[in-house]
Amino acid sequence: DTEVTQTPKHLVMGMTNKKSLKCEQHMGHRAMYWYKQKAKKPPELMFVYSYEKLSINESVPSRFSPECPNSSLLNLHLHALQPEDSALYLCASSQQLPGTGGIGSYEQYFGPGTRLTVT
Amino acid sequence: AQTVTQSQPEMSVQEAETVTLSCTYDTSESDYYLFWYKQPPSRQMILVIRQEAYKQQNATENRFSVNFQKAAKSFSLKISDSQLGDAAMYFCAYRSPYNNNDMRFGAGTRLTVKP
């Protein structure tokens, strides 16, 4: 099973709403990622979890709050978003060697994304 | 910091023909990993091919092959016998083995396949 799943596929929320994006993988990967992608642009890294611990936060505003409850699940909690946060949010996972800075050629497997619209 | 450059925002190819997408990168590292990802209109990023920098042999996956020139820091993707399903956005990506899970993407090339 080389699948990363994401729910929901589409989400429309107001600026005062609280919502969550969910990502799941059952490949035994210990590194999981959140990316933000604007139209016709490459994905921009937001967060990286390695062995369920946050290892990279690319200076993302606090209105985005990641959570990794276990090795298979990754959530992104959203609160008080702005219209400019509208984008495709991609989750990815990859193998991770323990105790290293990420050494390995392991490619990232991506989910289908959540299309977020903030009104 | 490593940078990845794709100088062709758009490319077009006739069905059954061959097309080459270019990618260059800048790095001071000797070991690294390069990838080509495809993102069709369905949005999902799909790995097309990968290349380890320590391998001199160019990677090949069916109709997809790369021309990896380490000294020139060039990593082009050749698609042979193009099919309508190859139409997508193609991203070149660089991954450092030393920078915790950081992967750098190029700006992308939109490939159109004409019937």
More confident residue, B80 or B41: B80
Among chain A, residues having any CB pair with chain B shorter than 8 Å are 31, 33, 40-43, 45, 48, 50, 55-56, 88, 90, 92, 94, 96, 101-105, 107-113, 115
Q: Is A41 exposed, middle or buried (0-12, 13-18, 19+ CB in 10 A)?
A: middle
Residues B45, B91 contacting (CB under 8 angstroms): yes
**Mean pLDDT per 10-residue section of chain A, whose length is 119 residues:** 89 93 93 93 92 88 95 95 96 73 68 95
Gap between the Cα atoms of A41 and A44, Å rounded = 9
- Partner residue facing A50 (CB), from B35, B42, B101: B101
pLDDT at A103: 45
B97 has a pLDDT exceeding 80: no
pLDDT at B21: 98
A40–B89: do the CB atoms touch at under 8 Å?
Answer: yes
Sign, CA dihedral A77-A82-A84-A87, equals: positive
Residue type, B57: Q
Tens-place pLDDT, residues B39-78: 998 788 999 999 988 888 999 999 999 999 999 999 999 9
A108–B50: do the CB atoms touch at under 8 Å?
Answer: no
Give the up-direction half-sphere exposure of residue B36: CA atoms within 13 A in the CB hemisphere.
30
Residue B60: φ, ψ to 5°: -140, 135
**What does the pLDDT average to over B91-114?**
88
pLDDT at B96: 82
B46–A110: do the CB atoms touch at under 8 Å?
Answer: yes
Tens-place pLDDT, residues B2-46: 899 999 999 999 999 999 999 999 999 888 899 999 999 878 899
pLDDT at B54: 87
Query: Could you tell me what percentage of chain A is helix, strand and coil, using 3-state DSSP and rounding each to the nearest 5?
Result: 5, 55, 45
B97–A104: do the CB atoms touch at under 8 Å?
Answer: yes
Gap between the Cα atoms of B36 and B90, Å rounded = 7
Phi and psi based region of residue B28 (left: phi greater than 0; alpha: psi -120 to 50; beta: remaining): alpha
Residue type, B14: Q
Cis before A8? omega within 30: yes
Q: How far is A9 from chain B (nearest CA, A)?
A: 11
Beta bridge partners of B88: B111
